[in-house]
């Protein structure tokens, strides 16, 4: 008669232990689920942030790569004897899709076999006859530019830029002109002068 209570008590203890183990497993399971959820949230946030930064960098890269000039035509102006080219007129517009360009932050580079010259923006003059000295400035020639141009070069505008150079070229000599904006891609054009200068205005490109 004494054995029955002992058996019932043992069964209760076994059931209690099983219940405790079940609750403990449930707590661990919930902890694992919460940990996994937090980890997934952090990974998702990091991925989204990284994608946003990558997209911003890509947009900036595309904008810089697309910001440039398009050099349409280059004319050389000879001296009075038509023996050498001492001035240049460079007709430019913005490349399709380009952002506006500030000419105050633009450099014009000029190369010949004798070396290189650098020019910065000097403002507006009427035409190439006003380029009377070598001052390493490039100017907007308003006589060949529609409207009233300013230093901000925008889409749809067409500018004629004039320079007077120190390193003149003679017939059959090569030349190179590069327009370099502060941000964006340089625009480059080059060629070889004709064998003979038959007029004071020489079409170079």
Q: pLDDT tens for residues 84-114?
A: 999 999 999 999 989 999 999 999 999 999 9
Given this model, what pLDDT does residue 113 score? 96
Average pLDDT over residues 159-166: 98
pLDDT of 25: 67
Higher-confidence position of 55 and 22 = 22
Tell me: the pLDDT tens digits for 180-199? Answer: 999 899 999 999 999 999 99
Give me the percent of the chain exceeding a pLDDT of 70. Answer: 76
CA–CA dist 72, 138 (Å, integer): 17
- pLDDT at residue number 63: 40
Position 54 pLDDT exceeds 90: no
Which pLDDT score is estimated for 60?
Answer: 43
Q: Which fold has domain 68-203?
A: Immunoglobulin-like (2.60.40)
Q: Where are the beta strands (DSSP E) in the chain?
A: 69-78, 85-94, 101-102, 107-112, 115-125, 137-141, 152-153, 158-169, 174-180, 187-192, 201-203
Please give the mean pLDDT across all residues of the chain: 84
Per-residue pLDDT band for 20 (boundaries 50, 70, 90) equals low
Q: Please state the pTM of the whole predicted model.
A: 0.69
The residue extents of the domains of the chain are 1-66, 68-203
Token pair for residue 120?
């910065």
């Amino acid at each position: 008669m004494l054995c029955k209570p002992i058996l019932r008590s043992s069964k209760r203890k076994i059931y209690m232990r099983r219940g405790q183990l079940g609750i403990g497993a449930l707590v661990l399971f919930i902890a694992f689920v919460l940990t996994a959820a937090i980890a997934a949230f952090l990974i998702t946030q990091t991925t989204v942030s990284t994608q946003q930064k990558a997209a911003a960098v890509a947009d900036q890269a595309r904008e810089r790569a697309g910001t440039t000039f398009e050099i349409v035509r280059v004319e050389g102006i000879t001296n009075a004897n038509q023996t050498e080219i001492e001035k240049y007129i460079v007709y430019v517009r913005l490349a399709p899709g380009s952002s506006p360009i500030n000419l105050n932050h633009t450099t014009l580079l000029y190369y010949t076999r004798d070396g290189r010259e650098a020019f910065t923006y000097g403002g507006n003059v009427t035409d190439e006859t006003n380029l009377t000295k070598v001052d390493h400035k490039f100017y907007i020639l308003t006589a060949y530019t529609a409207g009233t141009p300013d230093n901000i070069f925008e889409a749809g505008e067409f500018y004629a830029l004039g320079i007077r150079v120190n390193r003149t070229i003679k017939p059959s000599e090569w030349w190179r002109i590069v327009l370099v904006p502060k941000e964006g891609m340089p625009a480059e054009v080059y060629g070889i002068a004709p064998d003979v200068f038959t007029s004071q205005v020489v079409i170079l490109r």
